[in-house]
Each structure stands twice: as structure tokens, then as C-alpha cells.
A and B are shown apart, each in its own frame.
Chain A
Amino acid sequence: MSLMNTAAVSLGSLLQEVADKHRKRYRFVTMTCTDIGDGYDILYHFDKDYELYNLRLYLKKGEELPSISSIFFAALLVENEIKDLFSIPIRDLVIDYGGRFLLTEDAPVAPMGREGCSRSIDIRLQGAPEEEDK
């Protein structure tokens, strides 16, 4: 089964397509990001009269994603979440939490990435000896 009402967009046409949805009075629902190895599968979900419409973007790893929050303000929260959980650089966010929307300074990097956390947290009881001290 494949996702219904889904159209592919390129990085270059994304903002234009999203602005078109806004002009046609679609409601922004959310975004879904999936790490697919060499890149990310990003879905933008919109709704009108209970019908969902999706824009599908393939983003290569290392590429910057333009924010749609200047078109749909509500997108700023999920974009900040994606920035935290996948470490995707997102430019022109209306409010940029700088990767600290959900995560703290000592949190794992890209915890929703395919390989899992790219850095594990060093959990050690206070006062516990260092590895080499054992």
C-alpha cells in the first residue's frame, strides 16, 4: 500500500508548492522525516475537508532544508523537532531553538537517525571510578 494523494517535490520547488497549498487554504498538519540511509524522506502533510495531501521531498544528507515556517507558522515546532532528532540543518526558521527544542546539551546527536544515536551519553554514577582506574 502506498500513500495516497502524494506528490514529489524538489528542493528548488518546495517553497513554491507549500505557498500554493497556503493560497488554496490547505491546513498544515505536520511533517514526517525518515532517515533512508543516503538521505531523508520528508513528507509535508496538509489537510482540506478531512482529505490529506502530502508533498514528498528527498533530501540528501548534508543538504540544508529551507523552513516553511514563514508560510505556515505552525510548522516551526515540527521543524525544530526534526532539526533536533535528525540533525538536519534548517534555514530561515521563524524561531530557531538551535537544536535545543527537545534535546539538552548532553543529549545524543541525531537520536532518530538510522544508525541510532551517533554519540552515546556517558552515564556513570557520581563518584564511580573511571575505566582505567578499575
Chain B
Amino acid sequence: MPGSKSIIPFGPQHPVFPEPLQLRLMLEDEKVVEALPAIGYVHRGIEKLAEKKEYTQNIFLVERICGICSFMHALAYCQGIEMLMNVTVPDRARYLRVIWSELHRLHSHLLWLGLLADSFGFESLFMQAWRSREAVLDIMEATTGGRIIISTCIVGGVRRDISEELMAEVLKTVDALERDLEIVRPVVFDDYSVKQRLVGTGRITSEQAYDLGSVGPVARACGIARDFRETGYAAYKEIKVTPITETGGDAYARARVRIREMYQSIDIVRQAVRDIPVGDIAVSARGNPEGEVISRVEQPRGEVIYYIKGDGTKNLERLRVRTPTFANMAPLLAMLPGCELANVPVIVLSIDPCISCTER
């Protein structure tokens, strides 16, 4: 009956969702009037487990919060422990951390691009994005031995160095990726069908984005110039990062931010490879963490926050992780009302959701 309301359980299993998320959508005809998230399908109790493991073992644990930004989870955790234990990381290690962070950002954004393209049926764009991503994973494997979870971050530095020959390969990879992006960028920015699906879809205002605590590309697409790399952790003190912003506040603006961020990441990798100093890659950290600290890192989806509390023993008293998708859930609830049911997958994927991160 026209005008009647119905509730649709959207997910947890849905062809376009890579992870289980349920949205309870209240619809009026085909229009969403209200959305409520239901999660809990992949909650693993990682924060509790972190209290049972030794603080050095937790590095491997936090990497498994998310497969896509695993290195940055380890980085945020190690930085926090280093602050508690007053450990100064060698300069070369700080640069290596930046290189692997930006390679992670690149493969994360390419993964997202493929999934977004898939959500509106653009299969060739999906395949092109994932083909380009493979090259990033290959260089990750060449430099660390792992394609996704690379386990190179340790308290006091990094576990592996990158040789000069491999640095040249890293540069070749980002050069090739830049050429790929030159093909993909006009498609995302200018293609009629892409714009038809993205422009004006899931729009929120800058005011809403700020009030609802959005982070990362979701905030930057609303004109909020906020990127935690600006604060200068790791080697971002030397390699300056200016937040990339758009003002549209819609799915199209979020896509533009991420595409432009890939070019930025390529530039950062080049600078890091050019300027990396010679020297040690780690110092030994003695003792156990004591006190409390908050460590923050800019992941591909936005800022991750680690609250770490140690009591001077090898086990932590508390480890709390606030991931970027968790922060972007409230803004998502503001994006959905008013949209057509067919646009729900596009809007959800426009925030680049990571449910494993959200639930931990």
C-alpha cells in the first residue's frame, strides 16, 4: 500500500558487504526513513584477551583486529607502549614505519574502490582496482614476507629493514600504481554513470560530520581539514602531510578524497625512500609498561585511538581501541534517512566500513 511503512533487515549477509553488518531499515515505499545498526557477529573480545597476553604478544593480537590496516594497529599500539616506557625509536625505523603505513593506505583505498564499484555494478572498475592492489601486496610481501599482516612493528622500532634494491622496487611499484591511477581517476571523477550513483548520495553537512564525531575521509569530504598525520608521529614530522578535503559531503566527495589520498601516499612513499637515513632499525626496550597513555594514528579510514594502561607487570591492566569505523557509524545513521533503498549499499560502502575493527 502506498505510504505504508515496513522494516527491512538489511544484512548481515548481503552480496555487497564484505563483512557481516545488519541495518534495520524503516522504509516508506522505497525510501529509508530510519536506520539502526545491529552488530556483534564478529566480536572476538580482543580487548579482554589483551589483558591475558604479555604486552609484547599483544602486537600480534592487535594486528588481527583488522586485516586491512593491520600495520597501523601495531604502530598505534607500539607507539603507546614506547611512550609509557620512554623508548626513543631510531630515525630509520620511523621512516620504515611511514613507508609500510602508506603502502597499507594504498592497498586499503584500492580495496575500497573495488568494493564501491562492485556495489553499483561497475565490474571492470572493481577488477582494475583490485588488479592494481595486487602489486602493492606483492611489494609488501617482498619487503616483509607477508602480504597483509606483516608483523614488522615491534616496541622500539621495526623487525625488518628494506634493502636499497628493494627500495628501488618499492619506487617502481608506486610509479606503476600512479600510471594505473591516471586511468582510474577520470573514471571515478568524470564518468556519467559513476556520478549518477555518487553525487548527492548520502550527503551530510560539515556541521553534522563534526557533531557526530566523524573521522578520516568521511570528515575530510565535508571540508573538515583533519588528518592526524599532521601532528608529526613517526616520520611525519619530516614528511609534511596536508589534509585532503572536499566540500560535497556526499559519496562522490568521499570517493574523490580517497583517490586524491592515493596520490598523496605515493608522494609520501617517494619522499620517505629518498630521505630515509641509514642506521639502526630498533632499540631494545627493557622493563614493563607502567602508567596510562593514549596513542593515535591516522589509518586509511581515519583516526584510531589506543588507550593503554600498564601496572608495571608484563600484562596490561587495560587496552581499549576506538577504531575509525566505530566513529563513523553515527554519521552513517545520518546519511541513510531520505535515500532510496537501492542506494543503501553505496552509502554504506562510501564510509569504507570495517566491521572487524568496529567490533574487535
8 Å CB interface, B42-61 against A: 43, 45, 47-48
Q: Do B359 and A111 touch (CB < 8 A)?
A: no
Residues from chain B with a CB closer than 8 A to the CB of A45 are: 294, 305, 307, 322
Tell yes or no: B293 within 8 A of A by CB: yes
Which B residue sits closest to A34, measured CB to CB?
Answer: B318
8 Å CB interface, B314-360 against A: 317-318, 320, 322, 326-327, 329-330, 359
Proximity string of chain A (55-88) to chain B, C-beta cutoff 8 Å, 1 when within and 0 when not: 0000000000000000011101110000000000
A95 to B270 Cα, complex, angstroms:
47
A104 to B305 Cα, complex, angstroms:
27
Which A residue sits closest to B40, measured CB to CB?
Answer: A102
Which A residue sits closest to B293, measured CB to CB?
Answer: A1
Given contacts A29-B305, A77-B326, contact A2 B292 (CB under 8 A): yes
Q: Do A74 and B330 touch (CB < 8 A)?
A: yes
Which listed segment binds A: B69-77, B147-155, B207-215, B245-253? B207-215
- Min CB distance A112 to B, Å, is 6
- Min CB distance B43 to A, Å, is 5
Tell yes or no: A11 within 8 A of B by CB: no
Tell yes or no: A27 within 8 A of B by CB: yes
Q: Do B307 and A104 touch (CB < 8 A)?
A: no
Residues from chain A with a CB closer than 8 A to the CB of B293 are: 1, 3
The binding surface of chain B is classed by DSSP as mixed
* Count class of interface residues, chain B: 35 or more
Q: Do B213 and A29 touch (CB < 8 A)?
A: yes
Residues from chain B with a CB closer than 8 A to the CB of A1 are: 83-84, 290-293
A78 to B307 Cα, complex, angstroms:
15
Tell yes or no: B36 within 8 A of A by CB: yes
Tell yes or no: A32 within 8 A of B by CB: yes
Which B residue sits closest to A108, measured CB to CB?
Answer: B45
Tell yes or no: B231 within 8 A of A by CB: yes
User: Which single member of A28, A77, A116 contacts B329 (CB below 8 Å)?
Assistant: A77
Q: Do A3 and B40 touch (CB < 8 A)?
A: no
Residues from chain B with a CB closer than 8 A to the CB of A101 are: 39-40
Number of interface residues of A (CB under 8 A): 29
Tell yes or no: B228 within 8 A of A by CB: yes
Interface centre among B84, B211, B226, B292 (most CB of A within 10 A): B292
Residues from chain B with a CB closer than 8 A to the CB of A74 are: 211-213, 327, 330
User: Which single member of A3, A30, A52, A76 contacts B292 (CB below 8 Å)?
Assistant: A3
Which A residue sits closest to B43, measured CB to CB?
Answer: A102
Q: Do B326 and A43 touch (CB < 8 A)?
A: no
A72 to B213 Cα, complex, angstroms:
9
Residues from chain A with a CB closer than 8 A to the CB of B307 are: 32, 43, 45
Residues from chain A with a CB closer than 8 A to the CB of B326 are: 30, 77-78
A residues engaging B (CB < 8 A)? Answer: 1-3, 25, 27-30, 32, 34, 43, 45, 50, 52, 72-74, 76-78, 95, 100-104, 111-112, 116
B residues engaging A (CB < 8 A)? Answer: 36-37, 39-40, 43, 45, 47-48, 83-84, 210-213, 226, 228, 230-231, 290-294, 296, 305, 307, 309, 317-318, 320, 322, 326-327, 329-330, 359
